[in-house]
Amino acid sequence: MNSVTITKSALQRIIEIRQKEQNRDKFLRISISGGGCSGFQYIFELDEKSSEGDVKIAEENSQILAITDETSLPFLQGAEIEFVKELGASYFKVNNPNAKASCGCGSSFSV
């Protein structure tokens, strides 16, 4: 069961990106890979083709907005994905209850 939450700000940003790209088939792919200073890191990519084993985590009007793969899903269970705008930076942020530690940049974590 998918229990990843995408906030309104993140959904809005994904929609804006799709409009800018002029491609309604593109979606945000969120995955986990080994690396970073804490062991794992979040990868955010635009994609337009889903694969077997992918899990939808957000859709609107039957259009996929965000997806992850079944390998990454256990690391994201219970997480909230938001889009943050700060002075000089804007980014997708993962609030992940599974992360036992994270690095200062916020892009890598350990479980």
pLDDT on residue 111: 66
In the chain, domain spans = 5-106
pLDDT on residue 8: 94
| CB 35 within 8 Å of CB 50 | no
pLDDT tens-place string over residues 2-15: 689 999 999 999 99
pLDDT on residue 45: 93
| CB 81 within 8 Å of CB 92 | yes
Query: Global pTM?
Result: 0.83
Does an H or E element contain 6, and which? strand 5-6
**Considering the domain 5-106, what is its CATH architecture?**
Sandwich (2.60)
Q: Which residues of the chain have pLDDT under 50?
A: none
Helix (H, G, I), strand (E, B) or coil at 13: helix
